[in-house]
Amino acid sequence: MTDSGTPQHTEYDVVVIGAGPVGENAADRTQAAGLSTAIVESELVGGECSYWACMPSKALLKPVLTQADARRLPGLAPAVSGPLDAAAVLARRDSFTSHWKDDSQVEWVNSVGVALHRGTGRLAGPRTVTVTAPDGTETTLGARQAVVVATGSRAVLPGLPGMDTARPWTSREATSAQSVPARLAIVGGGVVAVEMATAWQALGSRVTLLVRGAGLLERMEPFAGELVAQRLGEAGVDLRLRTSVAEVSRDSEDGPVTLTLGDGGTLQAEEVLFATGRAPRTEDLGLETVGLEPGTWLDADDSCRVKGTDWLYAVGDVNHRALLTHQGKYQARIAGAVIAARAQDADVDASPWSPHQATADHAAVPQVVFTDPEATSVGLTLAEARAAGHRVRAVDQDLGSVAGAALYGDDYTGRARMVVDEDHGFLRGVTFVGPGVSELLHSATVAVAGEVPLDRLWHAVPAYPTISEVWLRLLEAYRG
């Protein structure tokens, strides 16, 4: 049954599986275009981002970064020299998740006229979705125009000995824990690992970060991981590079977890977080009923339609194009426009700037890592641009030498890089690392996504004295 008591067999123009931010955007767009739309959710309406990812993690991190910024300012530093009030930080985090209740999200779904079906949605052939409610009731939904899969991804745990009884944390437990573990081991060197190391170390944990590779944030410019690693060490995190985990064990319900390392050594902690990758939530989606393989990423074209079909769309993490909430919402807006156009037998514009084509998730993907310092990037790194065959040049700038950064805080440490396409005269990528740089990123995104010529960027004058003056310094360095 649905929240509104609709019958067990019903038809809509569009059925969306997954009511996270991505699925909500897709449903909103098709409903607004005049297509009757249903959305199916097996957990909380609002999805991973609202309850276990973006919102709670950033609520944990904001006090940490604010305190770090304040400590860089003479006259203010003594007032914030003490530890954070962990209970208050956790309580504020809980408020941002609405205490893991989705009443307000359900109210929004109802307000836009989308029908909500609670339960597990599975494909049952072309344009057909079955919904199994928590009480076992089964409803069959028909989709006259399209089915949109927005089921996202889940954390992957490695198959190590002892994992079945060690009760490890994934990102969900790391962002929703109700108390601060005295010791926390984190396995991984990516975004989740470094953000949670930043948060829990500041909240009072003794954090050990175990990284199999040679550095952190290896998908960004090398200096990003280097600067974040330096600050984590200064904050007290025990960072161990080139370190693997061979086994885990927990001998009692309340006892610590023991990690056996690849070199034979051991490490004990109250909790261990594995931040070691994501997998698509498609293993129980009924893909086999439409000739696709369960548990795989869905291969979608630039209109977000699953290749080989004329009715199935995949948006967000599940299509593996860019595993970021904002990129998934962007894809959902594209898919909604495409479905509406095709429903009216209208031509779908295939040009790069078309509202019917997702192109920004290829070469203009913005990302912020909310550590101290913040690490932000959009587009290609220098290595990626060269590997793609572009003739490029990297231009670097010490952010600490910019007047606005010096005013931001004493001993400001940061770096900026732009990757210039020498043949076309525009930017392939930009990276900023430093306190407070996240708000610089959209200007870089506009430059990269819009392929703005450098000759035009000279006339985009940054205000003085702001950190954004780094744009002028980068352009000056490029011209020599």
Query: Each residue of 8-61: pLDDT tens digit?
Result: 669 999 999 999 999 999 999 999 999 999 999 999 999 999 999 999 999 999
- Whether residues 109 and 244 share a domain: the answer is no
User: Is 477 within 8 Å of 469 (Cβ atoms)?
Assistant: no
Q: Is the pLDDT of residue 6 over 80?
A: no
pLDDT recorded at residue 4: 46
Separation between Cα atoms, residue 152 and residue 304, nearest integer Å: 14
Is 441 a domain residue?
A: yes
Q: Do 144 and 19 have their domain in common?
A: yes
Average pLDDT over residues 174-198: 98
In this predicted structure, the answer to whether residue 316 has a pLDDT above a threshold of 60 is: yes
Q: Is 470's pLDDT higher than 70?
A: yes
Query: Which of 310, 331, 360 marks a domain boundary?
Result: 360
292 and 210 in a common domain: no
Kindly report the backbone phi and psi dihedral angles of residue 374, in degrees, each rounded to the nearest multiple of 5, phi listed first.
Answer: -70, 145
Helix (H) or strand (E) holding 479: helix 470-479
Is residue 426 a part of any domain in this protein? yes
Using an 8 Å Cβ cutoff, are 335 and 304 in contact? yes
**Residue at 79 is within a domain:** no
Q: Residues 22, 127: one domain?
A: yes
Same-domain pairing of 34 and 132: yes
Pairing mode of beta strands 120-123, 128-132: antiparallel
Same domain, 169 and 310: no
Residue with tokens 């409803």: 139
Residues 355 and 289 in one domain: yes
Average pLDDT (153-158) is: 96
Same domain flag for 117 and 221: no
> H helices then E strands: how many in the chain?
16, 21
Mean pLDDT of 69-95: 95
345: domain CATH number is: 3.50.50.60
CA dist., res. 169 & res. 197, Å (int):
13
Domain stops at, among 276, 311, 328: 276
Q: Residue 363, Cβ neighbours under 10 Å: how many?
A: 17
Paired sense of beta strands 153-155 and 138-149, if any: unpaired
pLDDT at 3 over 60: no
Q: What's the number of domains the chain is made of?
A: 3
Confidence at residue 353, expressed as pLDDT on a 0 to 100 scale: 79
**What is the domain extent for residue 192?**
163-276
With a pLDDT cut of 70, the percent of the chain lying above it is 98
The predicted pLDDT at position 9 comes to: 67
Residue with the two structure tokens 């959902």: 332
Last residue of a domain, one of 211, 241, 276: 276
Mean per-residue pLDDT over the chain, rounded: 96
SS3 182: coil
Within a domain: 60: no
Same domain, 221 and 247: yes
Of the candidates 414, 418, 317, the one whose C-alpha atom is nearest the C-alpha of residue 371 is 414
Query: What is the CATH classification number for the domain harbouring 460?
Result: 3.30.390.30
Considering the domain architecture, whether residues 410 and 439 belong to the same structural domain is answered as yes
Among 317, 278, 283, which Cα is nearest to 300's?
Answer: 317
Residue 396 lies in a domain: yes
In this structure, is residue 467 part of a structural domain?
yes
Q: Is the pLDDT of residue 1 over 90?
A: no
User: Cα–Cα distances in Å, from 208 out to 179, 243, 413?
Assistant: 18, 11, 24
Residue 327 lies in a domain: yes
- Is 67 a member of any domain? no
Asked whether residue 362 carries a pLDDT value surpassing 90, the answer given is no
Residues in the chain: 480
The single residue listed with the structure tokens 């089964």 is 138
114-140 average pLDDT score: 97
How far is Cα 281 from Cα 287, in angstroms, rounded to an integer? 11
Residues 112 and 203 in one domain: no
Give residue 287's Cα distance to chain centre: 25
**Phi and psi, residue 311, nearest 5°:** -140, -10
Do 19 and 112 sit in the same domain of this protein?
Answer: yes
Roughly what angle, to the nearest 10 degrees, separates helices 325-343 and 21-32? 20
pLDDT band (50, 70, 90) for residue 2: very low
- Mean of pLDDT values over 265-287: 97
pTM: predicted TM-score of the whole model, two decimal places: 0.95
Residue 135 CA from chain centroid, whole number = 33
- Identify the three-state secondary structure at position 195: helix
Q: Using CA atoms in the order 34, 40, 45, 49, what is the torsion angle rounded to 10 degrees?
A: -90
Give the whole-angstrom CA distance, residue 273 versus residue 415: 30
Q: Is the pLDDT of residue 7 over 60?
A: no
